[in-house]
Structure 1
């Protein structure tokens, strides 16, 4: 099965973004994939901001991305783009840090007006990092994700359907990536 790194760029621990992330992680894990989570807000702030490449925690986080077959990139949308926190982490990846990796964006924003933030803000950064396969991903708005009283999140039916479709597409791409790699190694 594939190794998948989930990179979360939310600066807050109770972001509605985690409703999407938890749903997708559960689906990927249920399919037998090895899923690791990088919560960028938990990394040492000074090491992130000062690009201290020798920091052990940053090295572990970038190694998780390096070892992954696929990467889920999750962020709330602020000012029509993903968070600066996420950008700071992505800037620490090597120039080809996403080469040959399937990228699956998950964004959440307050309004549908920022729907194209995945296409116009994130995809150029993924391309600059050598990423070649970028799925459309899912952009959700806050009203589709409810914080539940006992903890956790309730997702709208439409959002669940979109997450199911896009996660299935991610899994299919991961499968074909494995098939292509095996075919190349057998030649």
Structure 2
């Protein structure tokens, strides 16, 4: 039964997550944290971090991680299959239709109208992750409750990426090292 739940949950994510991995995060959060409560919000934040650091799409990595955590290797296969099946079918159909109708103005208009919704979904996921990272209890967001170490690391990471055009992987590694050093220093 858990295999079917994993398959169907990630089938929904795979079916409705237009715009890639970042757009899928609110859907994954809804299924994994809110609906089924397979992970806590803190575990979900760790999941996103792990999914970012491993090769492959975020949604597929998340499906595999959640599947293994909930039901072992079989759960990983069920969740991952559910996540990628809609994409395989939809991309095949859309590719055929796009090749046939790619010059239609209506099609170009539809594609352009989807962009703002994707940006909103990405922003929603980003804000949710920031809140979880900076405040342990999202219900009590105050200046005193803020994890200033993580805020400073975030600002430095954004600055390094935007100003110095550093590779995001290097920034992630440096941020991880900085957090470990700060933790050992007791700050």
- Which bin holds the TM-score, normalised by the shorter protein? under 0.3
* Structure showing the higher helix proportion among its residues: 2
- Please, what TM-score do these two structures have when normalized by structure 1? 0.28
* Structure showing the higher strand proportion among its residues: 1
